[in-house]
Chain A
């Protein structure tokens, strides 16, 4: 079990215990809401499991440097930003990877674009986001996040 899972589960158990002492009926109600929501998003979550498997299976992080190593200029920012938006890499691996991208010749703007789109935009999560928050919100948030990430990267290129 990861530390994230431990924290989230700890909070849930703590919440349930406190809730149970404050009101049995409401606790049961909360569990019902939880169960219903769980089964509602389960298929979408399983779709993501398949997608993430394929993504990391076909584009392992070790190959990304080879693919996008020396990208620079506006085109570099765009392609590397798009890669970051689509790919799915845990941040513990992503930052060292961004460091080595920078070393192998990517510009500040391109490196920033990669990290920013990678963390801010989760294209693989899009089906779940649409399911839970609605198509309008999800598409707006992801689309504008991409623009914001590009703006952040270009500004970083200018400042640094």
Chain B
């Protein structure tokens, strides 16, 4: 992999800054409201307090381990991977090969779906086509080799294989539909940059 100069899109960044602060405040307010909501709800169901807190705590620990690393990977991707490279392999002209690359990229790592969102946004930013992003996210969500193994074990090979084939087909169609809709109604404008 060669490191080609990539443009910084400074203008875009500055434009987004103004709205960013407001959004951030809104997000913290929503968080405060959901915590208050949770506390009120739990005060009516004292038996649910323990399982809820245990789950939240486990989840928080998991997030704390994964999220910073994911952000670093995304940052490295943004700085080092050139627009030309993403356009070549995942852009408009990438065709069937692009879909396959997107599916492989999505199916290889393991980890919760939220990990894939920042990576998807970075790829869109660099010129990947929407179809491939949908395939990437769907593959990340539901095509995982260890997962397929468990599926065979509990539901049988026929069930797993049929579901896998149908999923790949329908996800590709869905990707095309989403791409058409987004192209016909203007840009996607991801907030995170």
Q: How far is the CB of B78 from chain A (nearest CB, A)?
A: 5
Q: Would you call the interface of chain B mostly helix, strand, loop, or mixed?
A: helix
**Taking the complex as formed, is B109 at the interface, i.e. its CB lies under 8 A from any CB of chain A?**
yes
Measured between alpha carbons, how far is A145 from B178 in the docked complex, in Å? 10
**Taking the complex as formed, is A86 at the interface, i.e. its CB lies under 8 A from any CB of chain B?**
no
Residues in chain A within 8 A of chain B (CB atoms): 1-5, 7-9, 11-12, 15-16, 19, 22-23, 26-27, 29-35, 37-41, 43-58, 60, 91-92, 95-96, 98-99, 102, 108, 111-112, 115-116, 119-122, 125, 127-129, 131-134, 136-137, 140-141, 144-145, 147-148, 151-152, 155-156, 159-160
Residues in chain B within 8 A of chain A (CB atoms): 3, 20, 24, 27-28, 30-31, 34-35, 38, 41, 45, 48-49, 51-53, 55-57, 59-60, 62-63, 65-76, 78-80, 109-115, 117-118, 120-121, 124, 130, 134, 137-138, 141-142, 144, 147, 150-151, 153-155, 158-159, 162-163, 166-167, 170-171, 173-174, 177-178, 181-182, 185, 188-192
- Check if B163 sits within 8 Å of A115, measured CB to CB: yes
Residue from B24, B49, B141, B188 with most neighbouring chain A CB atoms (10 Å): B141
Beyond A137-B182, A141-B134, 4 additional pairs, beta carbon < 8 A? A15-B73, A54-B38, A102-B155, A120-B142
Quick one: which of A34, A92, A108 contacts B159, CB cutoff 8 A?
A108
- Check if A47 sits within 8 Å of B31, measured CB to CB: yes
- Check if A50 sits within 8 Å of B27, measured CB to CB: no
Measured between alpha carbons, how far is A87 from B93 in the docked complex, in Å? 38
- Check if A2 sits within 8 Å of B62, measured CB to CB: yes
- Check if B51 sits within 8 Å of A60, measured CB to CB: yes
Q: How far is the CB of B111 from chain A (nearest CB, A)?
A: 5
Contacts of B53 in A (CB 8 A): 53, 57
